[in-house]
A and B are shown apart, each in its own frame.
Chain A
Amino acid sequence: MDLTLKNEADILHLTACHACDLLIEKQHILPGSKAECPRCGSTICEPKSDTVSKTLAVVITGLFLWWPANFSPILTMTILGNTSNNTLMGGVLDLYRGGFYWVSLVVFVCSMLAPFAKIFFLLSVLLHIKFNRYTRFLPALFRFYEYMDSWGILEVYMIAILVSVIKLVDIAAIHAGLGLFCFIGLLLASILATLNLDKEQIWEHIEQKCKQKNS
């Protein structure tokens, strides 16, 4: 059944707070500023300018950095002439070999899979909008991006790298590898993508595409 077509006109100027369900009249907010719920203080909307182009640029950057960030050495350690290094992938595999299946799965999802899935889903949605294409999976792709968003936690991994260095710095010589720089780039790209992404605008684009297709 179609919920929107029947009574859309009279609720079109209204919106609700996602955190407290208060009905609010939609206001025109300029890009760069944000509207807060008068009752609970949560952010209602935060429009961004050129959201599609800007986000597309950083997402493509992230796509190129993902592979070296995951498979190149992040840190290299030397003790008494013996050297070893680690990669994101290596950490997951070593946990798995050590019998920590669940831990390795969680680390794999949070540090490798979710960041990649975020890039993949966001890139496909943005390319569809940019080149005015439509598939019936388009709404699902953007929903998957939102589900993955809370599991891609690269900033926590970055601090974990710093903690590891501090723990080892007394017993070994630690050097940064290529992977570390790519990882920092990937982290920055992911933060910039979040900062430039206007979800409401993307949903409106998707809704328009669906209507064009159906009419």
Chain B
Amino acid sequence: MQTKKQLSAKSAGLIQCVDCRKLLRYPEMESPAKLICPRCGAALHPRRPDSIAKTWALAITALICLIPANLFPIMTLTYKGEPETSTIMDGVILLVKIQAIPIAVIIFIASIAIPFLKVAGLMTLLLSIQLKWNLSPRQRTLLYRVIEAIGRWSMLDVFTISILVALVELGSLAEITGGVAATFFCLAVVLTIFAAGAFDSRLIWDE
């Protein structure tokens, strides 16, 4: 038995616009694909269409991109004529060596931990819905909110490279160029942001 307190908008025959959050009555006759929100003009769907399939596709692609992103060099520093390539992890180790521990921790969390945890978190949410795992929906909603909020911080390394390539441009004295991994890493981060956006957290609460 559902109490009135636990009634969702969808089961009450209502539909909420995902763009402007207006609550509307869901007409029975029309095909859902054609509905437009009268307030903001966005397409209306009771749930985001193909949310689970899209999120899976984007999350798996992001995971594939993360492998070359971590194995290949992300940048090359040429200092006094000697080129030295480094991967993301090398950058973290270097910062530990120069005693910049807080920054090393930030880079490690933003560039290595967050992308993998984000993909793992999204996959956990997807599996919990598809296999009907008995996890607390409230905690899963919290997990989704955290995934959505922290994703942008993975762009830290990409921005750092864009600053360093422009700033360190002194020819053979000191020069920084990007590496192959930058493209893969950038792609992985953008894909995880799209994956989090494609996921519909309301599915967690649907029976």
Contacts and interface: CB of A to CB of B under 8 A. Distances in A.
Contact of A107 (B12, B40, B159): B159
A42 interface: yes
**Interface-central residue, A85, A100, A143, by most chain B CB under 10 Å:** A100
B186 A157 contact: no
Give the interface centre of B39, B165, B168 by most chain A CB atoms within 10 Å: B165
Contacts of B193: 150
A167 B164 contact: yes
B173 interface: yes
A206 B42 contact: no
A42 B144 CA distance: 11
B171 to A, nearest CB: 8
Contacts of A50: none
Interface string A11-28: 100111011111100000
A72 interface: no
Given A11-B23, A21-B10, A4 B38 contact: yes
A191 interface: no
Interface stretch (B55-63, B118-126, B149-157): B149-157
A97 to B, nearest CB: 9
A168 B167 contact: yes
Nearest to A147: B19
A215 B145 CA distance: 41
Contact of B30 (A1, A87, A166): A1
A167 B190 CA distance: 25
Nearest to A76: B167
Q: Give chain A's interface residue range (CB within 8 Å of chain B).
A: 35 or more
Nearest to B22: A203
A172 B79 CA distance: 11
Nearest to B47: A21
A107 B16 contact: no
Interface in A141-188: 142-143, 146, 150, 153, 156-157, 159-164, 166-168, 170-172
Contacts of A104: 162
A77 B167 contact: yes
Contacts, number: 209
B41 interface: yes
A163 B6 contact: no
Interface range for B: 35 or more
A20 B142 CA distance: 11
A41 to B, nearest CB: 6
Interface in B111-147: 137-138, 141-142, 144-145
Given A23-B9, A156-B153, A203-B20, A16 B163 contact: no
B162 A91 contact: yes
A146 B103 contact: no
Contact of B6 (A6, A19, A22): A22
Nearest to A137: B41
Contact of B39 (A94, A161, A162, A207): A207
B40 A143 contact: yes
Contacts of B166: 86-87, 90-91, 93-94
Given A19-B202, A39-B205, A42-B141, A95 B20 contact: no
B52 interface: no
Given A102-B187, A159-B106, A153 B152 contact: yes
Given A146-B19, A156-B153, 11 more contacts: A4-B24, A19-B145, A20-B137, A21-B202, A86-B167, A142-B20, A163-B156, A164-B164, A166-B100, A200-B21, A207-B39
26 contacts: A3-B24, A3-B37, A4-B38, A11-B14, A11-B23, A16-B23, A19-B201, A20-B137, A21-B205, A22-B8, A22-B9, A39-B205, A41-B141, A82-B170, A84-B167, A91-B166, A94-B165, A103-B178, A103-B183, A107-B162, A150-B193, A163-B106, A163-B107, A166-B100, A203-B22, A210-B39
